[in-house]
Amino acid sequence: MDIHQLDCFRGDTYANKKNPKPFHSRCEQKHVSYQHDQLIERIHYLKKLNGSSFKRLYQQAQEDKGIKSYRLVAPKQIQEIKRLNELAPNISEVTDYIAQSLCLPLYTNNRIMGFRPILLLGDPGIGKSYITKLIARFLGIDFKSIDMGSLTSAFELQGNNSSWNSSQPGQLARAAIESPIGNFMLLLDEIDKAPTRTQYPPLNALYPLLEEHTAKYYRDAYLEMAFDLSKLMIIATANTVDTIHPALLSRFYIINIKKPTAQQQMKIVKAIFHQLIKDKHIHEIQNKALSTEIIHHLSKSSPREIKRKLEIALSKSAYERASRFNPEQRFDNVADLEELVLEPHHFGIKESAGNKPATKVVPLFNRSLF
């Protein structure tokens, strides 16, 4: 059977006979993520106990009743993931692994999107976190992140006993309640920086999360109930494995991310720029090419810095163009928008001139394109 034919089938083709309507559509499937009544009862109890209302959690729980949408695999997502190589040519091993993992469900009765937890290992500043956000975007799923280096104990992930002062639900339970998606992308950022010499090391909370059979009943100590986290798509990042226990490492598929070559880095700059103007809906400059000098300058930066500098450049250019008009004038029509974005833009590059920094102004785009 061709995978494109498979994608055209209606979701209810794969309905379980005991539950004739398990699929909401061919794109998603509904499942119980947690017991709604139990959570509401617990929130009411905690409000009486210590005045904690947890308004946001309560509202979300009342909205979805503990039933989450689980995204299903379609050939389109696999094609999109492979297209990521254009944005980050140095992550082909990551995209290959995810694409292969997503292909298998296409030929099974369970088409829920997912893959085994991944650990991206590499030097700082090469875009590991940025890669994870791109993967979530290209798959069209919700994205949550936890800064593992900022945690002090496992309780911050799995909750603390409500009898303790300042106790709260764990970040994992919060994410599971707040996300409308049951198989959202979870980034565990910089797990190598999580403290290990504490009474309750944060990494200990990951052991049950990274095994599907235990993650299905992941218990939050504060809410005193279990959550189904077995379908989360988990990607962790680290600069080194020296501080991570081998037992925890064995639960990840480890991929070494190499620093991009100079040529790859220039491709990344162009890709980030085109993705940025696409996200900002500035369609009129989608076919514009960055000037060579700008590309070389930005190629020395991390993906995060590249995006930040380009955003600043475009914002400054728009401000300079808009400031020439009456402040009360609005850009209401296409002609105004085209005039705004097609003006020659400039980008400041700092250069040293003796002991004083100087700014060399160069065009953002190739002038020949105007």
Give dist(CA 77, CA 99) in Å, integer. 8
Instruction: Report the pLDDT averaged over residues 48-71.
Output: 88
Confidence of residue 309 (pLDDT cuts 50, 70, 90): confident
Burial class (CB in 10 A: 0-12, 13-18, 19+), 19: exposed
Looking at residue 352, what DSSP letter applies?
Answer: E
Q: What is residue 288's predicted lDDT score, i.e. its pLDDT?
A: 64
Residue 107 contacts residue 176 (beta carbons within 8 Å): no
β-strand partners of 349: 360
DSSP SS3 for 70: strand
CB neighbour list of residue 79: distance below 8 Å, 6 or more residues apart: none
pLDDT at 327 over 80: no
Dihedral sign, Cα of residue 136, residue 294, residue 347, residue 278: negative
pLDDT in tens, 207-244: 999 999 999 999 999 999 999 999 999 999 999 999 99
Q: Of all helices (H) and strands (E), which one includes residue 218? A: strand 218-220
The top-scoring range by mean pLDDT among 17-31, 122-136, 295-309 is 122-136
- Residue 326, pLDDT score: 52
**Contact status, residue 199 vs residue 239, Cβ threshold 8 Å:** no
Place of tokens 């997503």: 102
CA–CA separation, 306 and 301 (whole Å): 6
Contacts with 27 (C-beta within 8 Å, 6 or more apart), sequence order: 11, 71, 72, 74
pLDDT tens track for 78-112: 888 888 887 777 888 999 999 999 998 888 888 99
Q: What is the pLDDT of residue 98?
A: 95
Q: Residue 18: which pLDDT band, with cuts at 50, 70 and 90?
A: very low
CA-wise closest residue to 238 among 304, 187, 202: 187
Q: Which residue has the higher pLDDT, 134 or 252?
A: 252
Q: Output 287 or 159, whichever has higher pLDDT.
A: 159
pLDDT (0 to 100) of residue 3: 31
Q: Which residues contact 23 (CB under 8 A, 6 or more apart)?
A: 11, 12, 14, 15, 29, 30, 72
> Cα–Cα distance between 279 and 259 in angstroms, integer?
26
On the question of pLDDT at 126 being above 70, the answer is yes
**Rounded to whole angstroms, what are the CA distances from 78 to 39, 100, 114, 170?**
36, 8, 12, 33
Judge whether 330 and 309 are in contact, CB under 8 Å: no
pLDDT higher than 80, residue 361: no
For residue 235, give the nearest of 189, 193, 274 by alpha carbon. 189
Q: How far is 318 from 335, CA to CA, in rounded Å?
A: 15
Residue 190's pLDDT is what?
96
In angstroms, what CA-CA distances link 118 with 93, 138, 234, 248? 11, 17, 6, 12
User: Whole-angstrom Cα distance, residue 166 to residue 222?
Assistant: 11
Give the DSSP letter string of 240-281.
-STTS-HHHHTTSEEEEPPPPPHHHHHHHHHHHHHHHHHHTT
Question: What is the average pLDDT across 291-301?
Answer: 82
Greater model confidence, 197 or 184: 184
Percent of the chain with pLDDT over 70: 76
Mean pLDDT score of the chain: 79
Task: Give the count of beta carbons closer than 10 Å to the beta carbon of residue 13.
Answer: 10
Residue of 177, 159, 140 lying closest to 59 (CA atoms): 177
pLDDT at 275: 78
Helix (H, G, I), strand (E, B) or coil at 235: strand
Give the integer Cα–Cα distance in Å for 142 and 185.
6
Per-residue pLDDT, averaged over 333-359, amounts to 41
Q: Phi first, then psi: what are they for 366, rounded to 5°?
A: -65, 125
Q: Give the pLDDT mean for 144-173.
A: 93
Nearest by Cα to 167 from 222, 219, 227:
222
- Token pair recorded at residue 223: 């809410």
